[in-house]
Amino acid sequence: MTSHPNDSGSATVEFIALSIILLIPAIYLLVTISQLQAAGYAAVAASDQAAKTIAYTTSDTQAEPRAIDTVHLTAKNYQLDPSTTDTTIYCSNTPCSTPGTQITVHVSIDVPLPLIPTFLGNQTRIATMDATGYHVIGEFE
């Protein structure tokens, strides 16, 4: 007759080991997806608000810096690094405050991998989220 080894207590160890092996990647995936979602929302909000900032700024020399500040502030509000944003501003007329001008603001936000440091000066990004916001200045604004 063959004797079986004593397995008492090993179920707890196996449960803990498998939980750690499966739980850590699942949590990392959720954090990564939430970073992508936050960057997507931030890009849309930043482009829309930057276009409106340009439209309602009275001085054309202050419009672009205020729009870029708006993009950076929006990125901060979404817990993103403002240095990962890139903003392109286009006005159909010069100056931008001319009635009938269509203002187009394109915002790109690089999304880095969470919890992974910059390697040799290169950011380990997973995606770039882009959005474009428009605003048309009315005749009587």
pTM, two decimal places: 0.82
Residue pair 114/106 in contact (Cβ under 8 Å)? The answer is: no
Whether 130 is covered by a domain: the verdict is yes
Whether 112 is covered by a domain: the verdict is yes
Whether 81 is covered by a domain: the verdict is yes
Domain count, the chain: 1
Q: What is the largest CA-CA distance in the chain?
A: 98
DSSP lists the bridge partners of residue 109 as 85, 129
Q: Give the distance, in angstroms, between the CA of residue 96 and the centroid of all CA atoms in the same chain.
A: 27
pLDDT at 3 over 80: no
Whether 1 is covered by a domain: the verdict is no
User: How confident is the model over 65-79, as pLDDT tens digits?
Assistant: 999 999 999 999 999
Whether 2 is covered by a domain: the verdict is no
Whether 4 is covered by a domain: the verdict is no
Whether 141 is covered by a domain: the verdict is no
Q: Which domain holds residue 120?
A: 10-136
- What percent of the chain stands above pLDDT 70? 93
Whether 90 is covered by a domain: the verdict is yes
